[in-house]
Amino acid sequence: EDQVTQSPEALRLQEGESSSLNCSYTVSGLRGLFWYRQDPGKGPEFLFTLYSAGEEKEKERLKATLTKKESFLHITAPKPEDSATYLCAVQSVRSYIPTFGRGTSLIVHP
Amino acid sequence: NAGVTQTPKFRVLKTGQSMTLLCAQDMNHEYMYWYRQDPGMGLRLIHYSVGEGTTAKGEVPDGYNVSRLKKQNFLLGLESAAPSQTSVYFCASRAGDTQYFGPGTRLTVL
């Protein structure tokens, strides 16, 4: 059974204070690992897909990295508008269905 | 393109009432999904479809039925609503490895 554990559950940062969110996973044959952003009252919005260990992707202040056991979402010099819940999901090669973690709620104070 | 839309946005039901949630996508995607999201539980898959006329059970299918008569629409039905079905429901469609989520339906069952 595929499993995804995200930590921490909640994170408070000051504007400009860089940090990382963790996504630990177990999957039988990784097809892809996904990061989504979810704003309050809205549906998740796709950020990144990572396919193999060592891969990295960047978008503005966000950078996602992948190892064989975990992924990190690094946030550099965050701004208040980066406040959201960040969801991680994995999909195995044998499934049409991604397994989601419970998310990390990020609040960036000005 | 409107992307993924959901109707209605909010609904309050009494125990035992029935209702149908509508999901529509204009991106010609084959795969569609219904999730529920509860505090502390993350996204849980209810049912999914890999194409017009097909449906399959997800992680938490009990109490729900679905239909995919047209490729662009995926309907989620509650035949006899229960308070345990109070949740936020998200529909998603998929292209490649990316899921596109709708804005959600907030359902309260009294």
Segment 18-37 of chain A within 8 Å of chain B by CB? 31-32, 34, 36
Distance from CA of A56 to the nearest CA of B (A): 17
Query: Which residues of chain B make contact with A46, given a CB cutoff of 8 A?
Result: 98-100
Query: Which residues of chain A make contact with B31, given a CB cutoff of 8 A?
Result: 96
Give chain A's residues under pLDDT 50: none
Residue B2 reports pLDDT greater than 80: no
- Give residues with Cβ within 8 angstroms of A61, minimum separation 6: A75, A76, A77, A78, A79, A82
Using alpha carbons, select from B85, B106, B86 the residue that is nearest to residue B7.
Answer: B106
Q: How far apart are CA B58 and CA B73, in angstroms?
A: 18
Q: Which tens digit of pLDDT belongs to each residue from B40-72?
A: 888 999 999 999 999 999 999 999 999 999 999
pLDDT score recorded for residue B40 = 81
Average pLDDT, chain B: 95
Q: Which tens digit of pLDDT belongs to each residue from B77-97?
A: 999 999 999 999 999 999 988
Q: What percent of chain B has pLDDT over 90?
A: 91
Cα dihedral value A97, B46, A36, A99, nearest 10? -40
Using alpha carbons, select from A24, A27, A23 the residue that is nearest to residue A36.
Answer: A23
pLDDT score recorded for residue A77 = 97
Residue B39: closest C-alpha in chain A:
A102
Q: Do A102 and B42 touch (CB under 8 A)?
A: yes
Q: Which tens digit of pLDDT belongs to each residue from B16-33?
A: 999 999 999 999 999 999
Residue with tokens 């309260």: B108
Q: Do A96 and B31 touch (CB under 8 A)?
A: yes
Nearest to B100 among A46, A96, A103 (CB): A46
Q: What ranges make up the beta strands (E) of chain A?
A: 3-7, 10-14, 19-26, 30-38, 45-50, 56-59, 62-66, 70-75, 84-92, 99-100, 104-109
